[in-house]
Structure 1
Amino acid sequence: MFCRCLSMFVLFIFVCGNPLWANKPTASPSPADLTFRLPTTSGETIELKKQPDQKVTVVCFLGAECPLARLYGPKLNELQAAYQPQGVRLIGVNSNQQDSLEDVQAYVKKYKIQFPMAKDYGNEVADRYQAVRTPEVFVLDENLKIQYRGRIDNQYLPGISRAETTSNDLKNALDQVLSGKPVKLAVTEPNGCFIGRVKKTEVTTSLTFCKEVARVLNQHCVECHRKGEIAPFSLTDYDEVRGWADTMLETIDDGRMPPWHASPKYGHYANARFMSDEDKKVLRDWVDGGMPYGDVKDMPKLPAFREGWHLPEVPEAVFEMRKQPYQIPAEGVVEYQYFVVDPGFKEDK
């Protein structure tokens, strides 16, 4: 489903976002709908309301485990530092049901987030803003009118990772609002993970997480989507799966997960990562039917996965590439690196 361990992390950058914008906003919320008062990761509360000394406010919906939200954390810090002296305030909001306050605090700490990060329990604020994905930004003027909504820029898109952005949508909108000009591109399609909303849906299916859904996830997903593995989030927990349900179905329907690119017309592969139509239907019918938990007695055991070295034979020798880890910058391009290692052999091997 979401991944197999042979996939590279970069695949997860593009698990989210659809070229067809099915959730395009129908109407702009009123300024009264945009005010809020929320708890933050620092233990305080933050309030958004009309203030005479506040020129521009940027509200950014972020997910603690969404790959794009992680990538854009440093960039949002840079924008905060550059525009705060000009009267711009940036507020992060997490509306995911699967992200606890502790998860959001860990996100803030790991990515050194420099702006307030609030928790929107029950996704009430996300609903009023009509926010769909993470990251998704809203630029509000001094009257709390939305002047821009959508993506931060176009550096990361489904299937695309540019070395540099070619369309600084949020930055351009801020410059235009601050200069008193109308925003030329006021709406763009956000790219990222669906917000994991709390859904009050009537149960209309006999399929349950404990029985049918856990089996499908165990077969196709949890090899990587479990604690300590390459995937950015786990799919072994019911609450996590409920929060990721919409994104899960989107990536399956788009053929991006499970990550497998070999065409079946060229032969059969023993390790082919295909999900059957029957298993896809199980997941979709369960999500559409209210996502019931079921009886824990029906829960299958997690598969036994091999830890450590995965190839058939254990290597005869292992050499460290270098004494200290090589630091990869959060953004930009790293030129090809060469590391010379002395194995210390005294004779031919």
Structure 2
Amino acid sequence: MFHTHWRITPMRAKIAAVASVIAIAASAPMALAGTTPNFVENFRLTDQERKAHELFYYADAPAIVLMATSLDSKEAKKSAQALQALKEKYADQGVVFYMISPVEGNQRAEAREMLASANVDVPVLLDERQLVAESLAFDRTGEALVINPKTGFTVAYAGPVSSEADLTSTIEALVAGEDVAPKMVEADYKEKLELPNYEPAKFSEISYTDDVAPILVDKCGACHAEGGIAPWELSSYEKVFGFAPMIREVIRTDRMPPYFPDPHIGNFENNDELTDEEARTIVHWIEAGSPRGEGPDPLLEADLEVQDWPLGEPDYIVEVDAFDIPATGILEYEYPVIENELEEGKWIRATHVRPGSMRGVHHVTSGYIQDYKKSAAVEEDSIEGKLPGGSVGSYTPGQNPQEFPAGVGTYLSPDGAYRFSMHYTTFGKEETDKTQVGLYFHDEEPEYIMRSSVIGDSNFEIPAGDDDYYVKSYLKFPADAEIYVLYPHAHYRGKHVELTMQKPDGTEEKLISLPRYDFNWQRDYNPVEPIQVPAGSRLIAEWWYDNSERNFANPDFTANVTPGDQTHEEMMYFRVNYRWLDEMVQNVTQHSETMMKDRLFASLDDSVDDMLQKEEIIGQRNVWLAKGFDKYDANDDGLLDRAEFQIAQKDRPADPRFGNREGVNEFGDIEEGAGKKDKPNADMTSLETKSTSGAGVQ
């Protein structure tokens, strides 16, 4: 749901019109094997650099050229160079060029090697499921299609990329806005591409009972259940049959299931992604007409129903203050503070936030104030007095209950209070939210403390219309640690995010990549095995943003966008939950405080060289530092080191966006153990209030 007026423009109206044409055309018979389609259906694929590309994103382009290719032949290199020549001739006129390679497994390195050897920069879309190549009848290297988006993505040319005269005349006519009759050019192709999984004659043999329904139950049942967040239930074959065309579309566009990490980077729990084989099974079954076949209907027996408490009845339930959500309007954040009624300290091992209004609760974050009641029960110099506050749970659509690793916990003192950040959105109807938070406790005191820190940047400004704006920041870990949770967050313009660990010896390890970030589907990503972080390592977060008109989720592509808590603003944010290996409940360290004091410096150090150059000092809140750079450069080397930067911070002017800054860091986070009794005000939460542990905003 957008938080500002969504701008309807001629281009966006055109996109909507094209989408309706495609929706009608999608009901037409599908192309037979080896037959060039009359129009091209939408798809999304990832290229050799881990960037996602969607066909319909280019609805305003005069023409789109797709070419089939292998990755390791002379013919592939020759065809790629021919396509490159066309790109150099027409790219400035808005024509879009891609190669598509039907591959099996991760062949990005091979694609990069082929492009480098051919001196070509046309992206290679790697079709690992081969569903797109099948639908395009792309089975020969050098075979090209020219697509006309203005007429419903119809095919204006099909033939070899080597037929320069035919290709050129078609492209020039489309660029000129002329009507173009489809042109099919036959050729004797030298290299055939294998599509080993494309056997249409066998598609009707796929069993709904044995093959399709079990996949749907396993990968889709949690949301498409009675009372689930999905708009329809997986209740029967008939329901699936009715939604079959949509199911095929969301698989081809990689929108469903809503699990978006790159499958070749990291290994995470709760992986709902379809395997390549599962995706082909469902799509091929649908392309065969979704036959019912023999056997019982597994959906009738699956008993798909959302459980109130998937982890079982909680040990304790926190009742968040009820809130009346109006039908319309933009709502400020609510910050209810609820005193802990437990008479003894407890250690959390798991949490589950359950919204009362599934439509009105946008997200929930939380923290715990250890000394809220300031009684004599906890002495400041005691072990309990040194323990940081921590998150008591968070919620976003699709979020699972949060379980801590064995032996790790967050402490709740009997003198404390729960503090929540509630983000509500209106949806055209009044409704009252009564969110509950289920807490599950350790039976005994755990050994380790769960920590949470945020890699962030609040210095950027995304220019209007920029479709690939880049922001980078990092945290430098002063001690050995292991990471349990990765959580990236941006708003509607966030499109791609990666996290990399740079070790002290200079080697790098990619920890996670989301080729396509979707604001509406955010979640924690829990590595199957904790990520080991050696002391001195940097965790480098990189975000790419799309502030263009083509980004259909963009609330206002005419605005320069700065950081802020509302979704029409932006965030560069990446939370990690971890523990220090040398920190135990009986030995609380200052490692987190040391690391977080360096975060503003790191957010400016784009070159990641432990020095700040003058051109790296950007952002409205750093104008004073840019102007006084030479004054703070004590050794006149044209750089600011950490010591010089810290001295300069004494002159930092108050930031009106943060109000009372006590207990609040430069990103608007309430620090671990801040212990603020008073709830934060709106001015203090420029980048969305996180939690007392910096546990993250969803």
Q: TM-score, normalised by structure 2?
A: 0.22
Higher strand fraction: Structure 1 or Structure 2?
A: 2
Largest Rg, 1 or 2: 2
Larger RCO, structure (CA 8 Å, separation 6 or more): 1
Higher helix fraction: Structure 1 or Structure 2?
A: 1
